[in-house]
Amino acid sequence: MTRIARLLIAGRGEIARRIMRTAREMGIATVAVYAEPDADAPFVREADQAVSLRGTTSQETYLDIEKIIAAARRTEADAVHPGYGFLAENAGFARAVVDAGLTWVGPRAEAIATMGDKLAAKKLMTEANVPTLPSVRVARSVTKEVRKRAAKVGYPLLVKAASGGGGKGMRVVSDEAGLADAVSGARREAAAAFGDDTVFLERFLAGARHVEVQVFGDSHGNIVHCFERECSIQRRHQKIIEESPSPAVDDDLRRRLGEAAVEAARAVGYDNAGTVEFMLDKDGSFYFLEMNTRLQVEHPVTEEITGLDLVREQIKVAEGAPLSFRQEELRMDGHAIEARIYAEDPANDFLPATGRLIAWRPDPALPARFESGVEAGSEVSPYFDPMLAKVIVHGRDRSEAASRLATVLERLQMPGIVSNRDFLVNVLRHDAFIAADTTTDFIERHSPARERDVSEEQLRAAALAAALASQRARRAKARALATIPSGWRNNPSAMQQVRYLHRDEEVLTQYLRKGDGAFTYEVAGHSGEARVLRSEDGWTELEIDGVQQRLSVVSQGADHWVQSPAGEVRLVELPRFPERERERTAGGYLAPMPGRIVSVKVSAGQQVTAGEVLVIVEAMKMEHVITCAEDGIVTEVRVVADEQVEAGHVLLVVDTGKDES
């Protein structure tokens, strides 16, 4: 047997930290590799050694095989774990690792190559009597023959990247007219994310469930399954909530899914952790989608219900040991649900967000498993996937797990970054989710609220807490009379006043201290009495109109994030005096987020129509298409392909012939 002493992890973020945790427990030293934007990331500091890959983009760093092999040699690592994403399902990388005399913590390169060619994999599955969906490979361009074959597959269909996953390089196409643009867009995303722009077409099942089976093999011929996970809650074809077991799978279906997954793994001689993905139709029939020849993002839910450490099993199998468990020994205990927290704005079509995370404080009173790539002070850059963390909760049953996970998310303090946290809570508390009506079109069918519903009482409490915190901060910095209580005035009738913006609504907040911590207040037209009960460790306990509440305020400039047990409220303090209005460009189209200009589809002087594509911007390995809102003429184009832009940058100007004054 091989003994791994030093493990290089060819990934970043939360999965790198996850692998390091198990490696440390096994007495294995760890090596991280990193791109320049990740130089201060937690996974870099937590590794025993970290090697800079001398670059900024994925192509320059995490997708550069030669740089990673060189890093392994330089640090005398004797094994490589690919994590997921980037090169995790690249057979050439697996071969390069083995050829360099290193141990590859993953399946054989031959298995990766076979299952990585998703069309060849489908053919192999058909021969193994595993049901599949019709599909077709796309040549370098969408030819007449491709259109003809696409029609045979049937619309709607999916354009999918042949390598990788995670929703990258994927498009739904409803008719032939959108095929060419969908293919070109999917190619670009696939190349940026996986270094391979190969795509194919596949029949799209509307209203189905995404159910996958965790499989594990070893070099001794053992192959088992570790039950199923349901991953149907998705946006942009990317999973955001996963659970195990699936509420749609009974014992008989679980047996059939498990048998099919094991047959799929056996057909390719599989020998490490992998996942066989299926689409489960309304009538209970299921179809093979693909096999992910790596550890999945959502592997913790399987660990929570089985008690396994899948990373430990991966390492032991790579060392040559047989699996530590047999199929008949596995049992499911309770229910586990995972939610992925992304730096994105659900209210703005889930566009990626960037910025600095001011604080990261899970509530210690609520048991939950956090797999995070960030901490207080972490910068979220536009270069890589915007996932910040995964939060996993295990409960006795599904209802308990969902309720507890929603509460954990509500009480998590993470000011500074726009995220999907409140949207996840709204999904978990949605009646349809609780009723297990979870299909891949859940978000489109049920439209969970994109933002938190903040009651008037909650808004009043947040405004008062922010105002009091600001006063305390100002008094603490005062050079004179610092011992006078904040809000003290010679004229006892003068109320303190501050104006906040909550979303698009102004919130006028006024208060007057009465002594002993008590004060009268008026917020958004509502008057009452309140009292500060205590203030410590960043938390303030207020009694507002006879109701006690515990709140924490984190401030940065004019921004205030107020956390309560019910969730977070963000308030923007308005200036006391009017500011000069920012210059606006009439007819200007702005960059919705920081990113790279992929292509400019129009030129100055060109006539454009509503719905026409103007510019394509890439951020965090996803593309955003900016379309024309109204017919007009392009008068200015201010960007070029490959240019890096900040959010709000004017990309181009369209004259609609209307008076903008």
Q: Which residues are annotated as catalytic?
A: 294
- With contact defined as beta carbons under 8 Å apart, do 242 and 77 qualify? no
First vs last C-alpha separation in the chain: 77
CA 538 from centroid of its chain's CA atoms: 28
**Which 3 state secondary structure label does DSSP give 576?**
coil
Instruction: With CA atoms as reference, report the closest residue to 43 among 72, 68, 60, 18.
Output: 18
CB atoms within 10 A of CB 534: 10
Cβ-contact 253, 278 below 8 angstroms:
no
Give the max Cα distance, the chain.
88
Q: What are phi and psi of 3, to 5 degrees?
A: -115, 115
Contact predicate 624/643, CB 8 Å: no
Q: How far apart are CA 135 and CA 150, in angstroms?
A: 8
Whether the CB-CB separation of 341 and 236 falls below 8 Å is answered with: no
Q: How many CB atoms lie within 10 A of CB 338?
A: 27
Query: Would residue 620 be called left, alpha or beta, if left means φ above 0 and alpha means ψ between -120 and 50 degrees?
Result: left
Give the tokens for residue 545.
Answer: 């109109």
Write out the H or E segment, with its range, that includes residue 302: helix 299-306
Tokens of 380: 């979220």
Sequence-distant (6+) residues with CB within 8 A of 387 are 13, 14, 297, 340, 341, 342, 343, 373
* Distance, CA of 223 to chain centre: 31
In sequence order, the β-bridge partners of residue 211 are: 230, 278
